[in-house]
Structure 1
Amino acid sequence: MTTDEMKLPASLHYVTFPSLHETPLAIAARLRVPAGGGRFPAVLILHGSAGPSAREGGYADVLNAAGFVTLEPDQWAARGLKGGAEGRPKTMVETVPDVYGARAFLAAHPSVDAERIGVMGFSFGGVASMLAATRVHNDQFLPGGSFRALMPFYPAAWTYNRVPGFEFGDLVDAPVLLVTGALDQYDNDPDVTKKLVAGLSASDAGKITLKVMAEAHHCFDMPGVDVVVSDPYANQGKGGSVVMRHNPAAMAEAHKLAVKFFSESMC
């Protein structure tokens, strides 16, 4: 791609794709394709419990500028859900077929290099990204393959290997960049992610890089957010309040980190 082509905005398309449930859901999504011809690497961007937001679009912007196709699904609309702690799916696992339906859609797209597809997600979407890193979930839908790189953001790290359905281990052969905030009140301890990785096999731990963002709450990269919510998963399962607060500096750092990680892992 030439320098002039990279300056052109990505083309925006509103699409639907089928999930890989036994009875598929028709999931709407925003697809963005960089200017220029050929096949590009792609990143699937998964929203959190609140549903689609400006956060996902911010990452799409910087990834598009770096030469990536992006796909931003709205997983809640297909289910008639409103979002939030009371308006999200009852289990995390039931959204995994959405993730692999999205990957199949990208792999079949003429502008996408099917061998270079990554995934990132935030909070609930971060959980789905974590599950996609495990063979027990990945191999149900993509035996012999996997996402090329995975980047979960603040996925309630305390839950893994402690809460049923949150098993984490026997990982696919792909790099995982796990990003959390030092002030995230779901984990309520910035060392939770370190403890999670320390409990894995040496082979699995070697696939994971941790990044703990200083002065960063849950949803630190969601423009304009400054709220306190209640969630039963907060405070390591004790429930209670969670501060969600935008940190522009941390968001800018995370945007650069995403471009660097996917560029080095897939290009």
Structure 2
Amino acid sequence: MHMSVKSAGWRWLLSLACLLSVAEAQALTRTEILPFSTVAMSDQQLLRGKGGEATGIAGVLKLPAERNNPVVVLLYGAGGYGDYVDDWITLLNQRGIGTFVVDSTSGRIDGKDSEQGHMRQLAVIRDAYAALDMLAVHPGVDASRIALMGFSKAGQGALYASLERMQKLYGPANAKFAGFVAFYPNCSVRYRDDEQLIGSPVWIFHGEADEQNAFSSCNDYVKRTSAAGAAIQMVGYPGVRHGFDRPGVTSLSNTTDGSVAMSGCDIREEVKGLLINKATGRLFRFDDDCVRQAGPSRFDAAAFEDVKRQVPALFESLFGRIAAG
């Protein structure tokens, strides 16, 4: 299949690949730029399991060891690639965990302020499973020890990629994600069969004062899925806002990527692929009265230190329970 990645995306990938520190060189971390095939889909197409346009994107793979590496697939949010992603790459690589950063944004359809862009809340799930398919046959990767982690808008992707429905539609026959970590996702939409997860553990990390993606919505979702038998947990940080793991955001900062807050909406997928606003009885739109501009983000040092401690330990425990291939 012919694959094209816009030049801006290649510049980002090449820049990232060249950022090898002396410490990385000493640790013999191997870096590869890997193009792969995926399908660009709207959320409606993703939920229905059909449609979309075949395309190509790429990602950067970093492997600390020669073989049998556990790998965390990283999805970044609508604001684009930032230093916080580098922080997680370094932290995980130092613990012997490989990383694969997926560039889902370069040359794609979701403009920052467009209705079309807003409607791509889940479409990175297709990219995540395409990445899993590729990594599962990579000679340096242990296919049984691949996890998924995402932030903000991509946190929704990481969270709902754990649905049985998504695994059946898009998962490869030879692999599944071993675990999922979602940072401050939006849990305000009730999707069909969203209580049925694939069985791999799911963790959510969320600020309780988040004014973009409400903590309460995710808390309700965790209770609902836990009652259905899902292995899902959430850590909440009182008084902490959106983007708390981003050291560059040291004061209250309003979003600049057109993000919106849907926490005031009651949205249900009552027909496959169609999201209904219960207040209007009509198809949900981002100009509905319940939608407002997203609240500010702010770094929180204490919460950041806690997730830096918890998340690598969770992955080490998860991967340690799975024998290396």
Q: Same-fold call, TM > 0.5?
A: yes
Moved more, 22-31 or 48-57: 22-31
Deviation at 1:82, TM superposition (A): 5.3
Amino acid in the other structure paired with 2:31: L
Alignment partner for residue 217 of structure 2, among 189, 192, 198? Answer: 192
Q: Which residue of 1 aligns with 2:299?
A: 246
Q: Which residue of 2 aligns with 1:169?
A: 195
Alignment partner for residue 59 of structure 2, among 29, 32, 42? Answer: 29
Q: How does 1:83-162 map to 2 (within 5 A)?
A: 83=112, 88=117, 90-142=119-171, 145-157=175-187, 159-161=188-190
Deviation at 1:42, TM superposition (A): 0.6
Deviation at 1:86, TM superposition (A): 6.4
User: Is the 8 Å Cα contact of residues 122 and 154 (structure 2) preserved in structure 1?
Assistant: no
Q: Which residue of 2 aligns with 1:219?
A: 243
SS in 2 for 1:50: coil
User: Is the 8 Å Cα contact of residues 50 and 84 (structure 1) preserved in structure 2?
Assistant: no
Alignment partner for residue 232 of structure 1, among 257, 260, 268? Answer: 260
Deviation at 1:38, TM superposition (A): 2.1
Deviation at 1:17, TM superposition (A): 1.5
Structure 2, unaligned runs of 5 or more:
1-22, 41-51, 266-289, 321-325
**Higher CA-based Rg:** 2
Structure 1, unaligned runs of 5 or more:
none
SS in 1 for 2:225: coil
TM-score (norm 1): 0.85
Q: Report the Cα distance in structure 2 between the residues aligned to 1:156 and 1:241, rounded to whole angstroms.
A: 11
| Change over 3 Å in CA distance of 1:168–1:143 after alignment to 2 | same
User: Is the 8 Å Cα contact of residues 85 and 231 (structure 1) preserved in structure 2?
Assistant: no
Identity %: 24
Q: Which residue of 1 aligns with 2:34?
A: 15
Moved more, 8-17 or 122-131: 8-17
Number of residue-to-residue matches in the alignment = 257
- The one-character-per-residue Cα deviations of 1:165-185 (angstroms, maximum 9, x if unpaired) are 586211111100111111111
- The one-character-per-residue Cα deviations of 1:130-164 (angstroms, maximum 9, x if unpaired) are 1111011111122665210001111112x131xxx
